[in-house]
Structure 1
Amino acid sequence: MNDLGLLYSDDQVNAAITESQKILKSYRQLKVLKKIKFPNIKSPTFSDMPRGGNGKVDSHLSAYINVISRIEQIERCVARCELLQSIILQHKYLDDTTYPQWKLAEMSGYSVRRYNDYLNSALLQFASAYRVL
């Protein structure tokens, strides 16, 4: 975080880390929404009776596409981080299983303190890729 002091203030860095955490924490919720909100698109039927288009299918479809695009954007931004930071973010936020902090540190092969340093670095890299910072 000290290297970024040349470019950004501490408040900006902390705000970027907080915003990155919010975005990444929403990932699992978006994955659930993707499963739940799958639009029920029916085949078109042809008849001579006029029907009013209320746009219900269109709004469901656009909401579904929005969820998918947000998921893909998060995954792309995590992949843009350096290898170690990308792995740390994947284990913490993108994996289906949630692990306690000590387990994540153990999985990465670092102490909890060093893991937290790498996590902050990963969150800043994500913020830069996601254009938060």
Structure 2
Amino acid sequence: MDLGLLYTEEQVKAAISESREILKSYRRLRVIKRLKFPYYKSPIITDMPRGGNGKIDAELDKYIEVVSRIDHIERCVARCELTQSIILQRKFLDATEYSQPKLAQLSGYSSSRYNDYLRSGYLQFLAAYKIVKTS
């Protein structure tokens, strides 16, 4: 994918770097959700007033933020083209972490073709991430 007419090489590198950092945060968010909020389930929205000191509400707000960020990343990966979506999902969202050569092998593409799709996936993901609302 040649973006030389639209963006400078520095802009493309910055976008790929930003996309990679967001995607890397996915597994950390899953660990935070599992360790910090092991007993939380999806919140039940009600119009009943809640009293108290606000500690539960603060914890619930943190839980909702973590779950929303996880969901946002998953939705944005799903919005990429099919091949790029599968590659990003295997690399960042799956529970099993594989080495780059193993990921290329699993995809069925050569390493260079795999890297082309990965690079394209990073750019598609970031575009979706900046467009799609978190809620």
**TM tier, smaller:** 0.7 to 0.9
Q: Is this contact kept in 2: 1:24–1:74, CA < 8 A?
A: yes
Q: Cα 1:58–1:87, aligned 2, differ >3 Å: closer, same or farther?
A: same
Q: Which amino acid aligns with 1:89?
A: L
Q: Partner residue of 2:120?
A: 121
Aligned to 1:106: 105
Q: CA deviation at 1:5?
A: 2.1
Cα RMSD (Å) of the superposition? 1.8
Mapped to 2, the partners of 1:31 and 1:116 lie a distance apart of 26
Amino acid at match of 2:16: I
Shift of the 92–61 alpha-carbon distance from structure 1 to 2, 3 Å rule, reads same
Q: What is the percentage of aligned positions where both structures have the same residue?
A: 65
> CA deviation digits over 1:29-75, x for unaligned, max 9?
1111111222768xxxxxxxxxx943211111101000000000000
Superposed, which structure 2 residues align to 1:72-111 within 5 Å?
A: 72-111=71-110
> Is residue 62 from structure 1 mapped to residue 61 from structure 2 by the alignment?
yes
Cα deviation code 1:94-119 (max 9, x no counterpart)? 00000001110000111111111110
What is the match of residue 38 of structure 1? 37
Q: TM-score when scaled to structure 2?
A: 0.83
Separation in structure 1 between the aligned mates of residue 123 and residue 29 of structure 2, nearest angstrom? 22
Larger Rg: 1
**1:17 aligns to what?**
16
Q: Do the aligned residues in 2 keep the contact of 1:37 with 1:60 (CA within 8 Å)?
A: no
